[in-house]
Amino acid sequence: GLLLLTIMFGSVAILVFEGSNNPNFTSLEEGFWFSVYSLFAGEPIPASPSSLGGKIVGVFVMFMNVTIFAMFTGTVSAFMVDRIRREDDFVDWESFSNHTIICGWNRKAEIIVREFKAAGKSEGIPIIVIAEFDNEPNFIAPDLKSRIQFLKDDFTKVTALEKAGISRAETCIILCDKTHGRSDQDADARTILAALTAEKLNPNVYTCAELLNREYGSHLDMGHVNDYIVSQEQSGFLLAQAALNRGLMGVFSELLTYERGNQFYRITITTEWVGKTFLDLFIHIKQNHNAILIAVSQPQGKFEINPERYIFQEKDNLIVIATREIKL
C-alpha cells in the first residue's frame, strides 16, 4: 500500500510542479514512469525536475525508496527468524523412549546430567527437564546443554508428565522445587504429588525423589516410590563423618562421582554363583577384576552390607566398588 501511494503521489505531484514548464513531464504516464524509475533506481529518471517543488517531489520519492526497502527487508528477516525459531522449538515428544525425566531445576540437576554423561548412561538420548522458568538456565559446563530437552511446565501436572513421555521413560528424578518463594512444606508436597503421579502413570518407571523432611517419606513408601533422599539430612551425615573421621571426605568425593577414580556399580549375579558364599565371590572379584564387593541387594529391596555369612540366591544384585563396570 505504501508503495502504491508513493507512486500515485509522485505521478500527480510531479505534473503539478513540472507540467507547465518542463517538456519531459507533459502527461500522467510520464509522471507515473518518473515515479516508478526514481523509486526503484534511487535517482530521478528519465529526467531531473527543474522547479523547487519538482525537486522536493523527486527527493521524497527517492527517500521512500530507502524506507520501503528497509521495511521490506526487516519484515522478511523477522519472518525468517521466527520461522527458524519455531522449527528449533518444535520437539517430537513421542519419539523419546527409555529416557530420563528430571522434574525441577537447580544446581543439583546439572550435577546429575554431568554424572549421567560421565557414566555413559542414555548416550544419544536427551534428558527431559520439566520446570517452570522464564529462560533456559545457564550452565557451568555449556557442553551439557545438548543433552537436555527443556519442557516449560508444572511437573505436578499429569499433562506435563504425559507430554514428557513418562509412560515410556526409564527413570524419573524429582528435585526439591523452592522457586517462587515456596516453603519447605510446599516443596515436599509438590515432590510427593509428582512422585505418586509418575508411579501411577507408569509403575515400571524408576522414581527417585528429593525431600527436605524425612517425616514425609512414609507417603512415598506407601506410593511404592523406588527411592528418595533427604538432602539436608544426607549433608549432615557427611559433615559428621568428615568431623569424626578426618580426611574421609576425599573417599566420599571419589566414590560418589563417575568423573574420576572408583565408583559404585550394581551388577546382576550369574547362575554359577547362586548357592555360593559372599566370601567366595568377594575373593573372586578382587582377584579377577580388582573390585571390592561391599553389599548384596535382594529382590525385596533389602540390602545386606558386608554380611558375615551370606548365600547368594537368584535375582540378587551385587554392589561393588570398581574403576569400571564389570561382568561376572
- Which of 60, 63, 51 lies closest to 25 in space, CA to CA? 51
List the beta bridge partners of residue 230.
Answer: 211
In this prediction, residue 167 carries a pLDDT of 93
Q: What is the pLDDT of residue 201?
A: 94
CA angle at 164 for the pair 265 and 129, rounded to the nearest 5°: 60
Per-residue pLDDT of the chain (328 residues; tens, 9 = 90+): 888 888 888 888 877 787 777 777 777 887 788 788 787 776 777 777 777 887 888 788 888 887 888 888 888 888 887 766 655 556 777 888 889 999 998 888 888 888 888 887 666 777 899 998 777 677 767 777 778 888 889 999 999 999 999 999 999 999 998 888 889 899 999 999 999 999 999 999 999 999 999 999 999 999 989 999 998 888 888 889 889 988 888 888 888 888 888 999 999 999 999 999 999 999 999 999 999 999 999 887 788 999 988 999 988 999 999 998 888 8
**CATH architecture assigned to 2-89:** Orthogonal Bundle (1.10)
* SS3 readout for 106-162: CHHHHHHHHHHHHHCCCCCCCEEEEECCCCCCCCCCHHHHHHEEEEECCCCCHHHHH
The sheet that has 303-305: what strands, in order across it? 263-268, 317-322, 292-297, 303-305
Nearest Cα residue to 323 out of 237, 234, 221, 255: 255
pLDDT at 277: 93
SS3 220: helix
Tell me, what amino acid is at 80? M
Amino acid at 216: Y
Tell me which residue of 237, 122, 123 sits closest to 173, measured CA to CA: 122
Identity of the residue numbered 293: L
Domain 94-234 falls under CATH 3.40.50.720: yes
Q: What is the pLDDT of residue 89?
A: 55
Q: How many angstroms separate the CA atoms of 224 and 207, rounded? A: 9
Annotated domain spans of the chain? 2-89, 94-234, 262-328
The H or E element containing residue 305 is: strand 303-305
pTM of this prediction exceeds 0.85: no
Q: Could you write out the DSSP letters of every residue in 61-118? A: HHHHHHHHHHHHHHHHHHHHHHHHHHHHH---GGG--S-EEEES-SHHHHHHHHHHHH
Task: Give me Rg for the CA atoms of the chain.
Answer: 35
Contact 76, 47 (CB under 8 A): no
Q: Of 286, 271, 278, nearest to 304 (Cα)?
A: 278
CATH match of 262-328 with 3.40.50.1970:
no
CA gap 304, 310 in Å, rounded:
8
